[in-house]
Amino acid sequence: MKKTIMLSFLFFSALHLFSADNYPQLVNVMNRESFSLNGSWKTIVDPFEVGYYDYRSQPKKNGYFKDIDYSTDRSFLLEYNFAADKTLYVPGDWNTQRPQLFYYEGTVWYRKHFEYTPKADNRVFLYFGAVNYEAIVYLNGEKLGTHVGGFTPFNFEVTDKLKSGKNSLVVKVDNKRKPEAVPTVNADWWNFGGITRDVRLVETPKTFIRDYFIQLNKNNPNEISGWIQLDGSTKSETVKLDIPELKITKTFNTNADGYVQISVPIKKNTTRWTPENPKLYTINLVHNNNSLSDKIGFRTISTQGTDILLNGKKIYCRGVCIHEETVGNSSRATNEADATILLSLAKEMGCNFVRLAHYPHNENMIRLAERMGLMVWSEIPVYWTIQWENPETYANAEAQLKDMITRDKNRANVVIWSIANETPHSDARLTFLTNLAKTAREMDNTRLIAAAMEKEEKRPGVMTVNDELSQVIDLVSFNQYVGWYNGTWAKCDSVNWEFDIKKPVFISEFGGGALYGNYGARDQFFTEEYQEELFIRSVAMLKRIPGLAGTTPWLLKDFRSPRRTLSEIQDGFNRKGLVSEKGEKKKAFFIMQKWYNELKGQ
């Protein structure tokens, strides 16, 4: 008991130890006044970080971030020159853009010159969709701040730091893995480095709507509830909520902190968001004649016994796991075109659900899935064995959780926040994850909380989940690889499942690998025939699981992983995909497609 109290104290203290010096996150950036800084950026590869540290390992006062022009005057010593160096495209990873950087982990400096003309009565923010993993950002030679975490957005106010005319933006990007990081040094996906998502300059009025939360009331589905947050010097103001299609127009007065809770009744026949009819309503939030628009769907998600209920009706989550990699060259997926290819394959398989593993995916992916009628499991990279007793590690994980929820809390299709994947049992781990679950519920009580736990044998021939975390989260959600890491596919025939807790059962991973086009005997690992037979037997086994409410086989597409070294089979790819890295469908794809089509009618 004393240990738990001490850990809780450490986690509370960590909020102060791990501080991000960037501005609170702006939401719905794509619908604000902005212009893109994407495109070609000059870069310098710096494995020894000589652009940041001197020969005594002390931070420099005049590092690469000063972006000194060496093109005309060479009467002084300078050992870098952005103008003469190579380029990388943003957003994107450096690994697949430049062969020499394929395995590189370390620092790359990015430099972008852009023109800007300040506008009166405006504020300006520099927004990054994500940078993997640590970003130190400089504008015109002066440090704006640091962000840690490779998959969530961050921004800085630059209103008084921009110059009229040419500006220099420099970012020190470092993707080195660290034991105390989230994820830690050990993972099963590619550590893509770079500025991997959009970079934008966002313009706002002096006082503006920074954030909002608009969803159906969990306890009263005939009411929209939530809040609006203003940002600026004058905060006690009037804001208006306008939903034209529902003929709703209502004004609210914010308090001295610029915050107001809102609630508006809606008609019982208001169309609810479902996978079959992913209805979105145009929402206008207005302050001082400045309107911020979004498209929001209304739905409820809950559990009752062993059922998942969408809008009060039982639903089976026919899903698949997806990594954020393109079909084709397996680079980091960045845009809506990349998302369209991946999500279209999921829809073709019969999915109404996707698990976006093992980190928050880009906003294009979430929003497109919402329009396509795909429910989403969204996850932070608390993966395998991280430093459970390290306060800074906890603060890092919590910051990523908060950033994920902040960005996507208004998306109707996001129905599950996941706080971990395959983590080993310990008191410290349970406290860590319990605190994360508490934080998620405090921020958003309208969704389910899950984690990908692990199975164990209850007695010969009977599997179960025996994890105290099951008491904390909303689902008995777990990964199982019977027939791959646990016996052969024949074992699926004799395995049954029992659970001591009455909650919906969700199989967050199952499956096995195959190289596309590698045909052979059904008992030969890595053949399409073995994978096909494994899925046939797995589906039959899954049908025997009591309370099964959802499945997401591992996974849609083969993806890069340095852990996978089997020559002529894996070659640096995890081969558990139902399609190849090029998008070619394996035999097992059609087994899942057949089962999911059968489930559609139930």
What is the DSSP track for 150-162? SSS-EEEE-TTTP
pLDDT, average across residues 495-522: 97
> In this predicted structure, what is the pLDDT of residue 70?
81
For the chain, percent helix, then strand, then coil, each to nearest 5? 20, 35, 45
> In this predicted structure, what is the pLDDT of residue 21?
58
Q: How far apart are the first and last CA of the chain?
A: 47
Q: What is the C-alpha separation between 504 and 491, in angstroms, rounded?
A: 24
Q: State whether residue 590 is helix, strand or coil.
A: helix
Strand partners, 106: none
Strand partners, 143: 138
pLDDT over 60 at 4, yes or no: no
Strand partners, 282: 295
Amino acid at 363: E
pLDDT over 70 at 61, yes or no: yes
CA 322 vs CA 213, 274, 315, 356, 510: distances in Å: 27, 21, 21, 5, 13
- Only one residue has tokens 């400045």, namely 290
49's tokens: 């970080």
| Cβ-proximal residues to 279 (8 Å cutoff; 6+ apart), any chain | 271, 272, 273, 297, 298
pLDDT, average across residues 271-297: 97
Query: Which candidate, 384, 390, 457, 449, places its Cα nearest to that of 415?
Result: 449
52's tokens: 């940041």
The pTM assigned to this predicted structure is 0.95
C-alpha torsion sign, points 79, 84, 89, 95: negative
Is the distance from CB of 510 to CB of 538 less than 8 angstroms? Answer: yes
CA 437 vs CA 347, 471, 550: distances in Å: 30, 11, 21
> In this predicted structure, what is the pLDDT of residue 16?
36
> In this predicted structure, what is the pLDDT of residue 71?
77
- DSSP string of 96-108, one letter each residue: HH-GGGTT--SEE
CA 353 vs CA 177, 225, 320, 338, 480: distances in Å: 31, 25, 7, 18, 19
Going by their DSSP bridges, the two strands 496-497 and 307-310 should be labelled as: unpaired
Domains of the chain plus CATH, in order, are 32-205 (2.60.120.260), 208-302 (2.60.40.10), 319-600 (3.20.20.80)
Q: What is the C-alpha separation between 384 and 230, in angstroms, rounded?
A: 39
> In this predicted structure, what is the pLDDT of residue 22?
65
Strand partners, 281: 296
Pick 21 or 478 by higher pLDDT. 478
Label residues 548-570 b or e (16+ Cβ within 10 Å = b): bbbbbbbbbbbbbbeebeeeebb
pLDDT over 90 at 3, yes or no: no
* pLDDT band at residue 508 using 50, 70 and 90 as cut-offs: very high
CA atoms lying within 13 Å on the CB side of residue 17: 14
pLDDT over 60 at 17, yes or no: no
Q: Report CA 74 to chain centroid distance, whole Å.
A: 46
* pLDDT band at residue 346 using 50, 70 and 90 as cut-offs: very high
